[in-house]
Amino acid sequence: MPQLQLHHPHVWDLSPEAATILQMALAKQVCLNDALPEIKRVAGVDIAYGKNSEELIAGVVILDADSLQVLEKVHFIGTSVFPYVPGLFSFRELPPLLKALEKLQFLPDLIVCDGHGQAHPRRLGLASHLGILLDLPTIGCGKTPLLKPLVEPGPERADQSPIWLESEQVGVALRTQPQIRPVYVSAGHRISLKTAIDWILRLSPDYRQPETTRQANSYVNQLREAHHSGPDKETEVTQTI
């Protein structure tokens, strides 16, 4: 089992004001160049909320980068230590995700987050925050935008329109399937926007969302249902593959 190392550790029990200041400091550490290893394993990460907004169910699914077959699933169920504040979701959702990632037999070479990276008002969405902490390549691929493109992308697969922040392109609205709503892609850490787009298209052969997100989302929803149905069922669906 790998040793998960945090490269910029910090406390999580912060006020929103302190978290905002920390966000701006951490954003300066982001690398937007391609500093990737050979990509063999890709992770999807997602969070589901339990019966109340304080219970968080974090899931990580590892896929083979070529076949997109699921190799491993891990999870962690915990409670939040940070309030629900738009733009600061990473401070709420990363603690249980890090606990889940600690359970992996093998660390991924690339992590795709159901959220944002650079396409964030302070350029530190969940994907960038996680990438900095682990010093791993990350991509943000959200279903809804924090920052909106000026125009919609064209109707065909791979059509895209830029997302701007202060005259700098920080992401794209990307059409992964013809005539289907776009997803919102941005670099997280140790990857360029162009390479991030290429990977999201590669991971989305059949559906709007990349297979990493689809699998992680399905997993945490199973966990939520099982968690509320009793411990025996939960054990069954969280088995490592």
Q: Token pair for residue 229?
A: 């149905």
Report how far residue 115's alpha carbon sits from residue 88's, in angstroms, rounded to the nearest whole number: 12
Of 4-13, 172-181, 203-212, where does mean pLDDT reach its minimum? 4-13
* Confidence check: pLDDT of 241 > 80: no
Give the predicted TM-score (pTM) of the model: 0.93
Q: Between the CA of residue 162 and those of 92, 146, 210, 236, what are the distances in Å?
A: 28, 13, 19, 43
Q: How many CB atoms lie within 10 A of CB 157?
A: 15
Q: Token pair for residue 8?
A: 């910029």
Looking at every residue in the chain, the average pLDDT score rounds to 93
* Confidence check: pLDDT of 235 > 50: no
For residue 9, what pLDDT band results from cuts at 50, 70 and 90? very high
Complete edge-to-edge strand list for the sheet that includes strand 110-113: 70-79, 55-64, 41-49, 110-113, 138-142, 183-189, 168-174, 160-165
**H/E run at residue 26:** helix 16-27
DSSP E strands, 175-218 = 183-189
For residue 2, what pLDDT band results from cuts at 50, 70 and 90? low
Query: Do strands 70-79 and 110-113 pair parallel, antiparallel, or not at all (unpaired)?
Result: unpaired
pLDDT of residue 240: 34
pLDDT digit string, tens, across residues 111-149: 999 999 999 999 999 999 999 999 999 999 999 999 999
Given its phi and psi angles, is residue 11 left (phi above 0), alpha (psi -120 to 50 degrees) or beta?
beta
* Confidence check: pLDDT of 237 > 50: no
Q: Which CATH number fits domain 31-229: 3.40.50.80, 3.40.50.460, 1.10.1040.10, 3.30.2170.10?
A: 3.30.2170.10
Q: 3-class SS at 167?
A: coil
* Confidence check: pLDDT of 207 > 90: yes
Looking at the DSSP assignment, which residues form a beta bridge with residue 184? Answer: 142, 173
Angle in degrees, CA 1, 49, 146, rounded to 5? 95
